[in-house]
Amino acid sequence: MFEIVTRARAHTYTTYKMFALSRIAKRSSHVVEHSRTFIAATLPDLPYAFSALEPVLDGAIMEIHHQKHHKAYVTNFNAAQEKYAEAENKGDYQTMIAMQPALKFNGGGHVNHAMFWKCLTAPKDYVLPEGELLKMIERDFGSLSAMQDKFTASTVAVQGSGWGWLGFNKATGKLALTTTANQDPCITTGLTPLLGIDVWEHAYYLQYKNLRPDYVKNIWKIINWKVRSIDARVVPCNDDNMRLTFTHRKTLTARIMILQSRRKSAVILRTRCKYYILTFLANIR
C-alpha cells in the first residue's frame, strides 16, 4: 500500500518497498548531509464496484469521489510531504511550520477516505453489528438505533464540510460520537475512529442535492459492520493499523522480558540456595 521515496541531495530518487520512516546521515569533512525519506501515499482500490452501493449511493458519485477527490488528496499530500522533506533537509523551520495546514488537510483527506471506503458495503451484503461491538453500543448509547439517531443528528448538523464519527475513547474505555470540520481526522479529537461518514457535498450532492439528512439516514443501510469486532477498539480499519500492531509488539516484548527476568531471578535464587546449603554442610562437617 505504501512505497517510500528517498530524496538525496544529489537529486537521485530511489524507491523502496518499506514500511518505516528512516533517516540516513552521511558525513563528509565539512557537512552533515541528510537524505530524508517519506512514505508516499497511494490511492487504494475500492473494495467493490463503483455501482455496488446503489441505490443508496450512485455509481457516478462513487467514481468521482474515489477517482477525482480522493486521488487529489493523495497527489497533494505527497507533494506536501516532499516539500516538507526538502524543508526539513535544509533545516528550513519556517517552511516546515507553514506546511502543516497542507499536510493536515490533504493527509486527512487521504486517511479519512481510505477508511470511509472500508466502512461501506453493498446493500445485499449488509448485516447488523454483533458481538462485543454491539454490546458496547448498547452499553454506551442504549441501543443501536439510539446511537444511529444521535450520530445522524450531530453529523447532519456539521456546518459546511466535515465528517461524523463513531470512535473509541481509550482513556474511558467507552464509545463516543464526534464530528470534525474539513478533513480533520477523528484522531485529532482524541478518539480512535471506528466509523466515519463523509458529509462533504461531493459525497452526496449529485444524488441527494441539498438533502444531507436523507443521505445520512440512508447510508446506515450500507454500513459495513462486518469488519467491526472487539478488535475494532484497537485496530481501526485505517492506516493506524501498523502503529497499533507495533504497540502490540512492544507490549509482547515487554511481557517476555518480565518473564525472562523472573526466570533468571529464580535460577539465581536456586543457585544461591544450593551454595548456602553446601556451605552449611561444609561447616558442620
Site for Mn ion, rule CB under 5 A:
198, 200, 203
Considering beta carbons, is residue 117 or 200 the nearer one to Mn ion? Answer: 200
Q: At what angle do helices 131-141 and 144-156 cross, to 10 degrees?
A: 70
Q: How far is the CB of 81 from Mn ion (least distance, A)?
A: 20
Q: Is 57:121 a contact under the CB 8 Å cutoff?
A: no
Q: How far is the CB of 65 from Mn ion (least distance, A)?
A: 6
Q: Is 191:96 a contact under the CB 8 Å cutoff?
A: no
Q: How far is the CB of 76 from Mn ion (least distance, A)?
A: 14
Considering beta carbons, is residue 200 or 225 the nearer one to Mn ion? Answer: 200
Considering beta carbons, is residue 35 or 121 the nearer one to Mn ion? Answer: 121
Contacts of residue 46, Cβ cutoff 8 Å, sequence gap at least 6? 62, 66, 117
Residue nearest to Mn ion (CB): 198
Q: How far is the CB of 163 from Mn ion (least distance, A)?
A: 9
Contacts of residue 128, Cβ cutoff 8 Å, sequence gap at least 6? 134, 144, 225
Considering beta carbons, is residue 70 or 228 the nearer one to Mn ion? Answer: 70
Q: In what order do the strands lie in the sheet with 23-27?
A: 13-16, 3-7, 32-40, 23-27
